[in-house]
Structure 1
């Protein structure tokens, strides 16, 4: 079994779904401490002026990811929806997908992870990704620091291979994976240029940029990694 583990991010980039497509089980790591540098609550879209940042305001930050509360007093969800509408209403597949996202933005709730999981579910369905998903907070008796925790999740599910993001090289203990008979493989993905509105191509935006511009063809930009 190939397992991938990632924090439940807000409207993540296409590589997030490439990883999901390339594994047998995808685990949302939601019971670790939220980092100020994390992109759990923000991402980028393409606007006429270039890159536009969408950031969900948080009422608390130094808590476990699953306990992050949204500060809804700023009408942020309407602003985000207005940004998506203004940036993508002219894109080829806006009308096809907008009604799938609209209910989530109309009623975002108060918990960031619940919001993100709702959006991730919408995107997963559009891309027809059948990979099962689970939250790490729902796995009993997990402990240890970040690296050990990853090992424990892999062991819990009997994974033979862990598909890791390249950013985890800093803390992955390759010897520990070997000692636990788990093969450590790093994701290999670079988004290919695809049709976009507004001048030159900008890579690594939120996956919604890909979806609204390419529709059903989006999945061909997420070719499953052979592991």
Structure 2
């Protein structure tokens, strides 16, 4: 089964559940950039509960701007702030040190475009998960694709369909309870090599 999906910033678990059940993933590359989506944000589990990490971007004065043309606003030190947030949230998790060296370069090397940066993050996470996928990329935008499952709806952060996945142990679960569908980072830091088995055992709600 082929799937069509958006590249997002450290995709949430729903994205990877969808991708773990197929070997053919097509990334949407020709859509317009919209605010309040997972294109430039992810959610982790901080000491005070759900915490958003947002990548600042440079918005065009035009009404519409292609996702692939959106630049990151690197004049602020957002990478250092995100890394410090991850350290604070997960340094006591079982597998943070196991993946730390793979992930840290993503927070020290600057990238001009948000889409390029998200694809870099995706490659590193796939290596961490040992998830081998055949990746293709769209060349034109198609509203209703044929012969593929369309998971582009998962990009919405504000009007997303609630996903309830099986519990796994989280660092602050005793303080705030289980938080479902956070960034894939939460899963790999807490579950390590078992993360892929977890993803393959879950199902996604589409309505």
Task: Report the counterpart of residue 17 of structure 1 in structure 2.
Answer: 16
Task: Decide whether the 8 Å contact of 2:2 with 2:148 is kept in 1.
Answer: yes
Task: Report the counterpart of residue 164 of structure 1 in structure 2.
Answer: 150
Structure 2 counterparts to residues 2-41 of structure 1, below 5 A: 2-41=1-40
Q: After superposition, what is the alpha-carbon deviation per residue over 1:190-212, rounded to whole angstroms, capped at 9, x for unaligned?
A: 42100101122111110100100
Give the 3 Å change call, closer, same or farther, for CA 133–109 of structure 1 in structure 2.
Answer: same
Task: Decide whether the 8 Å contact of 1:33 with 1:63 is kept in 2.
Answer: yes
**CA distance in 2 between partners of 1:225 and 1:4 (Å):** 16
What do you get for the CA RMSD once the two structures are aligned?
A: 2.0
**CA distance in 2 between partners of 1:36 and 1:165 (Å):** 18
Structure 2 counterparts to residues 36-115 of structure 1, below 5 A: 36-60=35-59, 62-115=64-117
Q: CA deviation at 1:119?
A: 0.6
**CA distance in 2 between partners of 1:143 and 1:22 (Å):** 24
TM-score by length of 2: 0.84
Structure 1: runs of 5+ lacking an equivalent:
152-160, 169-188
TM-score by length of 1: 0.77
Q: CA deviation at 1:220?
A: 1.8
Q: Say whether residues 1:192 and 2:178 are aligned partners.
A: no
Query: Matched residue of 2:57: which SS?
Result: coil
Q: After superposition, what is the alpha-carbon deviation per residue over 1:21-71, rounded to whole angstroms, capped at 9, x for unaligned?
A: 212311111211111232200010001110110000001254111111000
Task: Report the counterpart of residue 185 of structure 1 in structure 2.
Answer: none
Structure 2: runs of 5+ lacking an equivalent:
155-162
Quick check: 47-56 or 107-116, which moved more?
A: 107-116
Structure 2 counterparts to residues 77-156 of structure 1, below 5 A: 77-136=79-138, 139=139, 142=140, 144=142, 146-147=143-144, 150-151=145-146
Q: CA deviation at 1:167?
A: 3.8
**CA distance in 2 between partners of 1:120 and 1:35 (Å):** 20
Task: Decide whether the 8 Å contact of 2:40 with 2:55 is kept in 1.
Answer: yes
Query: Matched residue of 2:182: which SS?
Result: coil
The structure number with the bigger radius of gyration is 1
Q: CA deviation at 1:143?
A: 5.3
Work out the number of aligned pairs and report it: 189
Q: Higher helix proportion, which one?
A: 1
Q: 1:210 aligns with which of 187, 190, 193?
A: 187
Q: CA deviation at 1:166?
A: 8.6
Q: CA deviation at 1:6?
A: 1.0
Task: Decide whether the 8 Å contact of 1:65 with 1:113 is kept in 2.
Answer: yes
